[in-house]
A and B are shown apart, each in its own frame.
Chain A
């Protein structure tokens, strides 16, 4: 089992935990860790990030979000890292070595 550890940066490789299931409901999502029973709701931006996570690095996701949303790169980057930390604490994602 991966433990929350290390510092998250835009260069971190974040992966969705294997035992996590996800449902998208009208642009918002709920993710559930089947191993722990812990779950988490994502707003539309969080849902977009979640959908991009499997195939993109955080830096690539940031570039895409900056193009899609009317917010500054720094703000989006900070919000995204905060979300990743929350998801990691709930064992919904892990930071790849």
Chain B
């Protein structure tokens, strides 16, 4: 077992799964090991997640003994009721994909089970040490936004999942795996493309200077949205209530039937919506121009985006 650091927590990983991850310290939140296949034990399938095209990509069950089962197309994870143990079943050929699902979906859900909240989104760190999160529906450009920021001198915190860590009066987030699932164009932008890689999304590892491990204050949340008739990329401030709804939509949950969890999560997300300014980042659907997103975000984080003046006045007056 190898201790690794992800999302502000330490996990003990089977050594096969730990390659390239930051070393972890402290008490592990969970242990992840490989397991030979075994039959369900009274599994009750209670939820499934589908892609926009309607294809089921994940199903969740609870076994009679209390363990959760997360079933992906080529892999299966069994998680103890308290989230302390994860057993992964996958054929050797499917292990890379299963590792990706483990890091980006299973661990965020497991942290939710343990009382910590994680958003589905990408995150970057500004040269001044402030984190910005990008949320949005699948395919809207969360990873592309992170890549555009990296091309402008920011560092990747996480490509697909961001924890929310309440601190004294503010919210922090923490780094995920130093990996990105990128289309060819952003790969080229970051110098991460290699001969033979497909035009479609591929998992790549940013250079050491392009990724940053650690925990940082979350300064902004951007909700990315392509708009067919948008004249250009722009930022629109979100009210705290609008931000809360976006956060509810983006938050990982192990078991939607768990009312105590939903109430707790709603409370945490409410604190985030109140304390972290959020914007909608709109772009032309047929001409995204991610470079222009980076310019808008940079100006916003520096406080020089014109809309920021009104927002600051409102925040000061409230």
Contact = CB atoms under 8 A, between A and B. Distances in A.
Interface residues of B, number: 18
Contact of A28 (B241, B259, B262, B318): B241
A37 B267 CA distance: 14
B318 to A, nearest CB: 7
Interface string B263-295: 100110010011000000000000000000000
A25 B273 CA distance: 8
A35 B241 contact: no
B236 interface: no
Given A30-B248, A32-B248, A39-B248, A25 B259 contact: no
Nearest to B314: A26
Contact of B266 (A23, A26, A28, A41): A23
A39 B318 CA distance: 26
A26 B239 contact: yes
B242 A41 contact: yes
Interface string B235-262: 0000111101100100001001001001
B176 to A, nearest CB: 25
B168 to A, nearest CB: 21
A42 B248 CA distance: 15
Contacts of A23: 241, 244, 266-267, 270
A35 B239 CA distance: 26
Secondary structure at chain B's binding surface: helix, strand, loop or mixed? Answer: helix
A83 interface: no
A90 B25 CA distance: 45
Given A41-B242, A41-B245, A26 B318 contact: yes
A32 B266 contact: yes
Contact of B274 (A19, A25, A37, A41): A25
B248 A28 contact: no
In this complex, the member of B241, B242, B256, B259 whose beta carbon has the largest number of chain A beta carbons within 10 angstroms is: B241
Chain A: interface size category: 10 to 19
B262 A25 contact: no
A32 B241 contact: no
Nearest to A29: B241
Nearest to A22: B266
A30 B270 CA distance: 9
A54 B310 CA distance: 36
Contacts of A26: 239-241, 318
Contact of A34 (B239, B245, B259, B274): B259
A35 B259 contact: yes
Contacts of A42: 241
A83 B266 CA distance: 22
Given A23-B270, A25-B270, A37 B240 contact: no
Nearest to B257: A35
Contacts of A30: 241, 244-245, 248, 270
Contacts of A71: none
A41 B262 contact: no
Nearest to B271: A23
A39 to B, nearest CB: 5
25 contacts: A19-B259, A23-B241, A23-B266, A25-B239, A25-B240, A25-B244, A25-B270, A25-B273, A25-B274, A26-B240, A26-B241, A28-B239, A28-B242, A29-B241, A30-B241, A30-B248, A30-B270, A34-B262, A35-B259, A37-B253, A37-B262, A39-B245, A41-B241, A41-B242, A42-B241
Given A28-B239, A28-B242, 7 more contacts: A25-B273, A28-B240, A30-B244, A30-B248, A34-B262, A41-B242, A41-B245
